[in-house]
A and B are shown apart, each in its own frame.
Chain A
Amino acid sequence: MFLEQILNGLAQGSIYALIGIGFALIFGVLGLVHFAHGEVYMIGAFIGFLMITAFHLPVWAALLLAIAGAAFVGFLVELLNFRPLRKAPEYASMICTLGLSVVLQNAAMLIWGSDTKSLPLSSENVAFSFFGAKLSMEQILIFTVSLGLMVGLQYILYCSKLGKAIRAIAQNREAAALMGVNINQVIAATFAIGSGLGGAAGVLVGLYYNAFYPTMGFMAGLKAFTATVLGGLTSVPGAVLGGIILGVVENITAAYISSGFRDLVAFVILILVLFIRPSGIFGRGIQEKV
């Protein structure tokens, strides 16, 4: 029973980690929060859903298309919401993406209706026994896909020119620009990568719970953000670890205390971390310049 809760937590946590990586990458290069990132995840989920139901594509193809679609949405968000505000005060882009998040959520509601959509899956739940705990097919899918994506991301970040440029901008944007890095291109690529991961998470979570709905991005986005804060806001491994911790803690709270507290626990963690150690587990400290 306990092991099963841990496994459920790990699956949920991997989802938070995938979304959280997007927050961390974007915060890394821009120092800004992308409030509509949860909606990008939702759009990814719906793209996957449509590909499976309307075009009868296999899951892997739907997943790839969702990643591509979400990446494109992320690219657009950067182009329309962040680039024009590059020199504006911090709150401007924050409020702008906050507005975008509200718009996307409600537009999705108009387009797809506010009810929850499900896949007409064969309901025989294939499950494996794992040291006595149930491990579903969907969980295995989540674990393998997210692990694969994270390894792929590490490869991009540490073994490619683009990754080097992303890390350079995160360190010092002006210096990177002076070294000939095309800042706008790299930031756009960062948004595409982060959003693609979010889109993948959307499809995975939709399959896991077999539920797709327009407001699914709000809570998931906030919780993934909590995970990112827990990990240190700019750290990719931090976001992964934070996501997994949050997923496990949430599931254990829901199972052993009360399911009503499931959502509460994330926000309490968020506020405690921000208040006690805003730099998170792996974050750099903040020092004000005088």
Chain B
Amino acid sequence: MSLLNIDRVTKRFGGLIAVDNFSARIDEGTITGLIGPNGAGKTTVFNLLTGIYPVDEGDIFLGNQAITNQAPHRIATAGVARTFQNIRLFKELSVLDNVRIGAHSRGRAGIFGAIFRNRAARREEATIHAKAIQLLQEAGLAEYSSELAGNLSYGLQRKLEIVRALAGEPRLLILDEPAAGMNPRETEELMAFVRRLHDRGLTILLIEHDMKLVMSLCQRVIVMDHGQKIAEGPPEEIRTNRAVVEAYLGKGA
């Protein structure tokens, strides 16, 4: 059963075709890697998926629901959570608040609840608080709960961004270069963390340049070059794919 269905999507910036007639299906419960040389259009695909850029042509479905050109907050509420290539935490807020904000789409309290603190609002606050603490504990970040997010080390910030995304109980988690700038030990730890999420049945789509990570973590790999999909398949197949090798090393390699 495919959870995400990208159907012949095209995105142009002026004369440049950043994403060209791109299609992909992501199956429920899988980890899929999206790789390709710099400027291949990977992050643009993520930005189309999350509604940050409007799609020029094509459709995107999450389950049966069309999310093409929906506002980013609607797509997030529909169940797509993401992290960013250059970490975008709420730096001046506490670690706990970052995670609680991640749970925003699962809450309902509005002005009335905020001011009058009725039963429903109090219960929701307690649930969100408990869930946030629990997620932080599971990720080993609980001791930093009242620390400002901006004060965490780089590796912990990357991890916190994932935890923040998880707080929204996503159906699909999108990670944009989660291991970028990490040392080997941090990368190792990250991989274990992602694997645990996968074990629980979460569907994950990630962009990564660390081939070792991609090949060992992903069940399927999609390769992009010049905005187009040039290959798709299990890692061992991609490794030996001629088009892929050419895209990375140039023709005749």
Instruction: Sort chain B's interface into a size bin.
Output: under 10
For residue B43, which residues in chain A have a CB less than 8 angstroms away from its CB?
290
For residue B52, which residues in chain A have a CB less than 8 angstroms away from its CB?
290
One digit per residue, 1 when the CB lies within 8 angstroms of any chain A CB and 0 when it does not, for chain B 50-89 equals 0010000000000000000000000000000000100000
One digit per residue, 1 when the CB lies within 8 angstroms of any chain B CB and 0 when it does not, for chain A 233-255 equals 00000000000000000000000
How far is A290 from B47 in the complex, measured between Cα atoms in Å? 8
How far is A16 from B154 in the complex, measured between Cα atoms in Å? 49
For residue A290, which residues in chain B have a CB less than 8 angstroms away from its CB?
43, 47, 52, 84
Min CB distance B91 to A, Å, is: 12
How far is A290 from B174 in the complex, measured between Cα atoms in Å? 15
Chain A residues 231-290 with CB under 8 Å of chain B are: 290
How far is A290 from B52 in the complex, measured between Cα atoms in Å? 8
How far is A281 from B52 in the complex, measured between Cα atoms in Å? 27
Instruction: For B176, give the chain A residue with the smallest CB separation.
Output: A290
Name the prevailing secondary structure of the A interface residues: loop
One digit per residue, 1 when the CB lies within 8 angstroms of any chain A CB and 0 when it does not, for chain B 216-244 equals 00000000000000000000000000000
Min CB distance B207 to A, Å, is: 13
How far is A290 from B177 in the complex, measured between Cα atoms in Å? 14
How far is A290 from B88 in the complex, measured between Cα atoms in Å? 10
Min CB distance A285 to B, Å, is: 10
How far is A86 from B35 in the complex, measured between Cα atoms in Å? 38
How far is A290 from B84 in the complex, measured between Cα atoms in Å? 8
Min CB distance B55 to A, Å, is: 15
How far is A290 from B87 in the complex, measured between Cα atoms in Å? 11
Min CB distance B14 to A, Å, is: 10
One digit per residue, 1 when the CB lies within 8 angstroms of any chain A CB and 0 when it does not, for chain B 97-118 equals 0000000000000000000000
One digit per residue, 1 when the CB lies within 8 angstroms of any chain B CB and 0 when it does not, for chain A 179-205 equals 000000000000000000000000000
Chain B residues 26-43 with CB under 8 Å of chain A are: 43
Min CB distance B160 to A, Å, is: 19
How far is A290 from B18 in the complex, measured between Cα atoms in Å? 14
How far is A290 from B43 in the complex, measured between Cα atoms in Å? 9
Instruction: For B13, give the chain A residue with the smallest CB separation.
Output: A287
Instruction: For B44, give the chain A residue with the smallest CB separation.
Output: A290
Min CB distance B128 to A, Å, is: 27
Instruction: For B53, give the chain A residue with the smallest CB separation.
Output: A290
For residue B84, which residues in chain A have a CB less than 8 angstroms away from its CB?
290
How far is A170 from B52 in the complex, measured between Cα atoms in Å? 28
Instruction: For A289, give the chain B residue with the smallest CB separation.
Output: B86
How far is A264 from B43 in the complex, measured between Cα atoms in Å? 46
How far is A288 from B43 in the complex, measured between Cα atoms in Å? 14
Instruction: For A288, give the chain B residue with the smallest CB separation.
Output: B52
Min CB distance A134 to B, Å, is: 51
Min CB distance B43 to A, Å, is: 7
Instruction: For B85, give the chain A residue with the smallest CB separation.
Output: A290
Min CB distance A261 to B, Å, is: 37
Min CB distance A284 to B, Å, is: 13
Min CB distance B188 to A, Å, is: 29
Min CB distance B83 to A, Å, is: 12
Instruction: For B46, give the chain A residue with the smallest CB separation.
Output: A290
Instruction: For B84, give the chain A residue with the smallest CB separation.
Output: A290
Chain A residues 39-74 with CB under 8 Å of chain B are: none
How far is A253 from B22 in the complex, measured between Cα atoms in Å? 55
Min CB distance A72 to B, Å, is: 39
Min CB distance B36 to A, Å, is: 17
Min CB distance B61 to A, Å, is: 23
- Which 4 A-B pairs rank lowest in CB-CB distance, beginning with the nearest? A290-B47, A290-B52, A290-B43, A290-B84
4 A-B pairs with CB atoms under 8 Å apart are A290-B43, A290-B47, A290-B52, A290-B84
